[in-house]
Structure 1
């Protein structure tokens, strides 16, 4: 088995599967880390070796989520060798080997924290990027990849191309999001670049701003405002606000681009004002219908 050729073929396979450049880079980096670590040929790796590798990653203080991501890459590489290259090989990354993950609830921002955060954002570009996350539920990668052609002002729509899972979807522009974006576009330098958000200073001025570049901007304003804000928290906040305003789960699922309703349902466990309202309304109706006041039966 020629390992170098197999890795190159695997890279081409990931491209054919339409994985993003970012995902392919991460896959190959994690695969390389594993292949450098193992002391036996690829075809001789056993589940016990993968367990030792998990221990090695834990000693490096990697999170359980990151370690499981490494295991996914190993498992898929061995599946590729068996299914695509037809090599008789056992997959050592067996099911059930992954670490258990905690399931923290998505964190959203309260109205006063949002106000405090946006008070310190004075650049029109940065304001537009953050408002698109908050009002349209865009992921940071989707903001970085947004093009001029994706904006439909007449219909108040944004076409998100190649979102997570290489899926396209349509989201909607609120009035404040549309106005904020328009303010930035009026001040945006004349350029042939089709991507909307560009670097404004330094040697990369005029180039497309990177995902990390956007994250650094939000980290800067978060520190400046004294609030804990991240790109993903803005997206979570949008979902929570829609839910509390009465929007249905399927609607929120479609807007966020979740492939499973189960993911969206996690927002129900948050500060769900909708559930609180519906509970009190329902109990009030029950009390009126039954005519029973339980507290009236109590004696001091």
Structure 2
């Protein structure tokens, strides 16, 4: 990516972020909700900190629901907030039927907002005095079955679509990252793609291309419109949206008779992570490839298959049994003969004899 392209992309990113902020401030002005002026200042602060557009949207959804809750409770002054108010908000979210993860995420956004108010002396620190911990079920990552992957690829004959699906499957990229990838970011000779800014953590990274992904990209390279800057684009357009990409995958899942399995674009990322882990890649390396900020995220993201656990168990057990057999005089699994047993026990018998000789006789003890 040239300096000019980076500047242009940054301009578009900032423009979209500014438009998002304007919409948020507009909604705050339209609704008479508690703490509107404080919320406005908070979002201006987030914008100055250069958080992503998605972070602005997520934070607004959570904080607006908190404002609506306070309004329904007749509480319009944020300065009078108590720990009980926060606990009641969580219960109201649960009563609405929100999933535990959604409740937890909303609570985290509201708590971050309250910390901002505490730092500004607007709200008492006692509001967050009682920790609220929400247990979230440890859901297994939704990776595709290997046979289903083969079935999906077998029906994906369109050059562009096959390249998209293979790149997602082999790199673990997020769909948003792939849709923003430029032709200049792809280095087929070196078999890698440069991601300048991460979808979530705003950090750049490098992902690598398998042989089949490179082959699919070369085929797409020969057919794509060379005048388009983005790697993937819809017909007659300069880009492709998330909805179009989701529809694309849905079409092939239906063609492969896999619609009932609930696979999504993000499942391709889980599939890549799980396959790499089961192939023996270390978690630290996988973490870097996926763009996770912590190994814990990666550990939750990919799981060892039953087959891998089985192989690891028997490999470890073979080492244990091998060590035990090395420690024995006889061959592994061989039962010592009577003469061998006598020889093995002879030192023990000798030690008992010496110990008994050292003890006083019964006559001496009773005399």
TM-score (norm 1): 0.84
Equivalent residues in 2 for 1:1-300 (5 A)? 3-39=35-71, 40=75, 41-83=77-119, 85-90=120-125, 92=127, 96-163=131-198, 164-192=200-228, 194-200=229-235, 205-227=236-258, 228=261, 229-266=263-300, 269-271=303-305, 273-289=307-323, 290=325, 291-293=331-333
Of residues 20-29 and 222-231 in structure 1, the stretch that sits farther from structure 2 once superposed is 222-231
> Higher relative CO (CA 8 A, sep ≥ 6), structure 1 or 2?
1
After superposition, the C-alpha distances for 1:131-176 in whole angstroms (9 at most, x for unaligned) are: 1221001112212222222212221111122212111111111121
CA distance in 2, matches of 1:168, 1:94: 37
CA distance in 2, matches of 1:33, 1:293: 68
Question: Is the Cα–Cα contact under 8 Å of residues 246 and 274 in structure 1 kept in the other structure?
Answer: no
Count of matched residue positions in the alignment of Structure 1 and Structure 2: 288
Shift of 1:285: 4.2
CA distance in 2, matches of 1:81, 1:226: 53
Shift of 1:254: 1.3
After superposition, the C-alpha distances for 1:6-64 in whole angstroms (9 at most, x for unaligned) are: 33332232223332112211211221222123121222222222222223222322111
Of residues 115-124 and 21-30 in structure 1, the stretch that sits farther from structure 2 once superposed is 115-124
SS in 2 for 1:206: coil
Question: Is the Cα–Cα contact under 8 Å of residues 192 and 208 in structure 2 kept in the other structure?
Answer: yes
SS in 2 for 1:101: coil
After superposition, the C-alpha distances for 1:158-210 in whole angstroms (9 at most, x for unaligned) are: 11222121111111111211221232233223445x3322233xxxx514323
Larger radius of gyration: 2
Shift of 1:271: 0.6
- Which consecutive unaligned segments of at least 5 residues does structure 2 have? 1-33, 326-330, 336-367
Question: Is the Cα–Cα contact under 8 Å of residues 181 and 195 in structure 2 kept in the other structure?
Answer: yes
CA distance in 1, matches of 2:250, 2:82: 43
Instruction: Quote the RMSD (CA, aligned, Å).
Output: 2.7
Shift of 1:274: 4.4
Q: Which residue in 1 is equivalent to 2:358? A: none
TM-score (norm 2): 0.70
Question: Is the Cα–Cα contact under 8 Å of residues 135 and 173 in structure 1 kept in the other structure?
Answer: yes
Change (3 A) 1:219 1:59: farther
